[in-house]
Amino acid sequence: MNHSSFLLTPSSALLARRRTVGAAVLSASAVALLGGRDALAAGAKTDARQHEADVRILNTALAAEYEAVAAYQVGAESGLLTSGVLPLAQQFQGHHREHADAIAGAVQKMGGKPVQAKAQYGFPTDKLKAEADVLRFAAGLERGAVSAYLGAVPLFADRALAQVAASILGDEAMHWAVLRQALGEAPVPSAFLS
């Protein structure tokens, strides 16, 4: 079975549900319009505040992604990563670049201004003496990213943004698990993230 075609070709039941939901949304919109312009204006102000809040959340995530890109660069340039670990670090750095590009694009599409990467991050490079130190440093950043996205997902007013953030959360969790395993630790230390 071709799973991609299954995902891209909605069933007739799914299309029927979409039409029903669409009709309900249109009906709710009509009621709001008939209910009075004051209520509609209040809703527009709330939507604008929620939109601005989503942009702020995205920019916070973008700043963290830039930090991760810079951190992996420090690790790659440290000379401490073996030939078996360096390509993985570069792959993870590439993931963070992709996240940053997607988030910056979303901020721009929403009319916001994406934050810029810092010139310096003040990483504890003096404490990176061995490969394990670099891995532990990266694992700590990935764990922090997991926590940050876990906290951000329910805050998005735009559920599509929440979905993208949840997808990135999954990627960060995989990075963290792989780094923990490389350190000889249990890759998944518990059944729940907190």
Tally Cβ neighbours within 10 Å of residue 167.
13
* Cα–Cα dist 84/99, whole Å: 24
* Cα–Cα dist 116/108, whole Å: 13
- The pLDDT averaged over each successive group of 10 residues in the chain (194 residues) is 34 41 39 42 65 96 98 97 96 98 95 97 96 97 96 95 95 97 94 82
Confidence (pLDDT) at 45: 55
Confidence (pLDDT) at 48: 86
Confidence (pLDDT) at 16: 43
User: Under a CB-based contact definition with an 8 Å cutoff, are residues 94 and 136 in contact?
Assistant: no
* Cα–Cα dist 163/153, whole Å: 8
* Cα–Cα dist 154/32, whole Å: 26
Structural domains in the chain plus CATH codes: 47-182 (1.20.1260.10)
User: Whose structure tokens read 């830039």?
Assistant: 66
Confidence (pLDDT) at 46: 56
Tally Cβ neighbours within 10 Å of residue 145.
24
Concatenate the DSSP letters of all residues of 87-105 into one string: HHHHHHHHHHHHHHHHHHH
Confidence (pLDDT) at 47: 86
150-173 tens-digit pLDDT: 999 999 999 999 999 999 999 999
Confidence (pLDDT) at 72: 98
User: Whose structure tokens read 């394990």?
Assistant: 132
Q: One-letter amino acid identity for 44?
A: A
Take residue 106 and report the two structure tokens written for it.
């979303």
User: Under a CB-based contact definition with an 8 Å cutoff, are residues 118 and 65 in contact?
Assistant: no
112-136 tens-digit pLDDT: 999 999 999 999 999 999 999 999 9
Name the nearest CA neighbour of 53 among 149, 159, 158: 158
